[in-house]
């Protein structure tokens, strides 16, 4: 028996947990039977969010009703919602993608409301239950949310001075610059690279005097700079390290602190670690927030999955951390490194073929995983790489997936074929990135070999990667053999001739390379079989797609690793444009 139709036939009110309006949905079935299910407006919003469908709901009205409570009981508003919600359900049931969605069928199948007391939304409330104080607070919060624009941030490593001196940065392109790195030491203090403090001082003075309100945050740690974190964060040293961070903020006139601990309760690059790491980190954030006050930024560079707790698994509730933090900076890159047999994408947008060998590592998965663990979307910043990897390989396609039937994504695990669940997932993610599904066809089965996972979960190197500051010249244009097995900055791909800038500001293959596009990850790659070289990277198109996704997902914005790897700001400009920034 299938559902053939649904419409709002009436409304009623309920008193628990607070008086609210219920819209009664009449559901028609293929056998001619009819059922009625009551639903709050907020439950429609939850369904819409779950499906990620492109349809529109009737608008929220708290901003109107905050000062005109009687509007909740106004026939015109209720009629408007009935009509809009009926149209919404009708369009879903007419869609071959969403009509058989388990979420929609569950929504239409239960005769009772699925909402609980903790789910209660002010959008559902009757006017008499809203005090003027509550209404004013609600309106203030919503106005703030409506006026929030995405942020564009970037890490500026202390070794970047050879590529772009801090005083020469175009600060109009950055809301936040994260200076990398200082590193914890065994005495609960900070170590600095030679000349780093002088560079930081120049960066801070240049940013603060630029007229663009660019904030400078000190990033502490890095992939090889996290060795002492577990010790400085423990109960004996936590307060001392908090004071070290406060002293750094005051000494260098900083706008905040970023903790790049890779990673709590994990060894990372041979780091010390403990089962108490995640709990100690929360204690640190709480104390640091108290010491710095509400006006300073507290952020952390994080993996696609939340921190590992004492049980060895990712935390399922990180809301307490979010209360103390300003942002969590998701390092969605290094999902695959260089490989001689199966090069894979560095920074996937999503598991767009439904069969990734690393389904938890993509932009979509990261946002879903952190928000599922109760970290607010508005405090997440998506990391975008301005670099790629060079593989000594004869491959002509990327291969970060497994054959059908082995294992797949929790987000889109139906199969590797065009099943309804995968279709809905692809439509949602690509739609949020501003792309049409038919422009990104699935590959034919058996097109490529299975990928071998080779990922660092977004490691930030403490030492400069080869060639990111000084242009490395090859004997022959397009010769990238000196980078085999290593990272390569986007500006180096151009400088060495594998990509060539055109008059319209785009980049095309050059000097024997062929440019390919991997629809499974929504990223480009270059290959030259004669040179046995494959380059996996991101360009203006893939970075723009991820930025569009970030904007659609309602997260705080995007950051890049790292500023010095760009080419005349073309990548940053693409990111800003797709975030809706000038």
CA distances from 17 to 21, 249, 369 (A): 12, 46, 29
327 and 422 part of one domain? yes
CATH of the domain at 345: 3.20.20.80
> What are the tens digits of pLDDT across the range 297-329?
999 999 999 999 999 999 999 999 999 999 999
> What are the tens digits of pLDDT across the range 230-251?
999 999 999 999 999 999 999 9
Q: How far apart are CA 275 and CA 265, in angstroms?
A: 6
Residue 382 has pLDDT above 50, yes or no: yes
Tell which residue, 321, 329, 331, 328, has the closest CA to residue 288: 321
184 neighbors 162 (Cβ within 8 angstroms):
no
102 and 230 part of one domain? no
pLDDT in the model for residue 115? 56
- Domain with 549, as residue range(s), is 151-386+402-466+542-579
Residue 447 has pLDDT above 50, yes or no: no
Look at residue 525 and give its three-state secondary structure: strand
pLDDT in the model for residue 456? 62
Look at residue 473 and give its three-state secondary structure: coil
Average pLDDT value for residue range 389-402 = 88
Which of 46-55, 360-369, 459-468 is predicted most confidently? Answer: 360-369
CA distances from 30 to 33, 104, 107 (A): 7, 16, 17
pLDDT in the model for residue 462? 66
Query: Where is the domain boundary, 147, 167, 192?
Result: 147
Residue 444 has pLDDT above 80, yes or no: no
Q: How far apart are CA 7 and CA 85, in angstroms?
A: 8
Indicate the pLDDT class of residue 401, thresholds 50, 70 and 90: low
156 vs 146, higher pLDDT = 156
Average pLDDT value for residue range 348-356 = 93
89 and 199 part of one domain? no
The overall pTM is greater than 0.85: no
| CA–CA–CA angle 239, 243, 247 (5° rounding) | 175
Query: Where is the domain boundary, 147, 182, 215?
Result: 147
Q: How far apart are CA 3 and CA 233, in angstroms?
A: 56
Residue 214 lies in a domain: yes
CA distances from 79 to 39, 58, 89, 186 (A): 15, 11, 16, 66
Residue 71 has pLDDT above 60, yes or no: no
Look at residue 409 and give its three-state secondary structure: coil
47 and 178 part of one domain? no
260 and 295 part of one domain? yes
């Amino acid at each position: 028996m299938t559902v053939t139709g649904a419409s709002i036939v009436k409304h009623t009110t309920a008193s628990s947990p607070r008086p609210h309006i219920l819209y009664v949905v009449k559901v028609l079935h293929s056998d001619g039977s009819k059922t009625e299910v009551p639903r709050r407006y907020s439950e429609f919003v939850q369904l819409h969010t779950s499906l990620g469908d492109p349809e529109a709901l009737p608008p929220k009205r708290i901003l109107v009703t905050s000062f005109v409570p009687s509007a909740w009981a106004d026939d015109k508003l209720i009629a408007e919602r009935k009509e809009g919600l009926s149209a919404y359900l009708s369009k879903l049931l007419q869609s071959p993608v969403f009509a058989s969605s388990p979420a929609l069928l569950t929504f239409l199948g239960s005769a009772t409301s699925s909402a609980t007391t903790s789910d209660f939304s002010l959008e559902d409330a009757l006017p008499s239950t809203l005090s003027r104080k509550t209404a004013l607070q609600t309106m203030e919060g919503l106005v703030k949310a409506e006026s929030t624009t995405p942020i564009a941030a970037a890490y500026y490593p202390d070794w970047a001075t050879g590529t772009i001196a801090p005083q020469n940065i175009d600060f109009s392109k950055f809301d936040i610059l994260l200076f990398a790195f200082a590193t914890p030491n065994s005495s609960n203090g900070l170590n600095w690279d030679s000349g780093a403090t002088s560079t930081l001082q120049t960066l801070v003075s240049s940013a603060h005097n630029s007229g663009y309100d660019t904030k400078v945050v000190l990033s502490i740690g890095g992939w090889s700079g996290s060795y002492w974190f577990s010790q400085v964060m423990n109960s004996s040293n936590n307060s001392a390290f908090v004071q070290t961070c406060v002293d750094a903020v005051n000494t260098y006139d900083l706008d905040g602190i970023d903790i790049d601990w890779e990673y709590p309760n994990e060894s990372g690059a041979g780091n010390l670690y403990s089962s108490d790491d995640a709990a100690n980190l929360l204690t640190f954030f709480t104390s640091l927030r108290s010491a710095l006050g509400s006006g300073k930024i507290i952020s952390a560079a994080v993996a696609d999955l939340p921190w590992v707790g004492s049980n060895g698994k990712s935390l399922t509730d990180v809301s307490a951390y979010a209360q103390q933090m300003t942002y969590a900076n998701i390092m969605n890159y290094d999902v695959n490194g260089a490989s001689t047999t199966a090069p894979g994408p560095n920074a996937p947008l999503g598991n767009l073929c439904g069969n990734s060998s690393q389904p938890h590592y993509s932009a979509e998965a990261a946002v879903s995983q952190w928000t599922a663990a109760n970290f607010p979307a508005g405090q997440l910043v998506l990391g975008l790489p301005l670099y790629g990897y060079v593989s000594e390989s004869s491959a002509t396609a990327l291969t970060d997936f497994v054959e059908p039937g082995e294992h797949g994504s929790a987000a889109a695990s139906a199969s590797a074929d065009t099943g309804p669940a995968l279709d809905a997932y692809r439509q949602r993610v690509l739609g949020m990135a501003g792309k049409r599904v038919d422009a990104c066809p699935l590959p034919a089965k058996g097109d490529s070999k299975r990928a071998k996972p080779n990922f660092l979960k977004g490691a930030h190197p403490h030492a400069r990667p080869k060639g990111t500051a000084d242009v490395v010249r090859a004997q022959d244009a397009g010769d990238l053999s000196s980078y085999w097995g290593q990272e390569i900055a986007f500006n180096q791909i151009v400088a060495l001739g594998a990509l060539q800038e055109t008059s319209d500001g785009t980049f095309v293959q050059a000097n024997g390379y062929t440019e390919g596009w991997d629809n499974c990850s929504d990223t480009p790659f270059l290959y030259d079989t004669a040179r046995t070289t494959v380059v996996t990277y991101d360009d203006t198109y893939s970075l723009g797609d991820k930025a569009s996704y970030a904007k659609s997902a309602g997260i705080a914005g995007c950051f890049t690793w790292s500023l010095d790897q760009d080419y005349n700001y073309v990548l940053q400009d693409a990111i800003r444009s797709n975030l809706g920034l000038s």
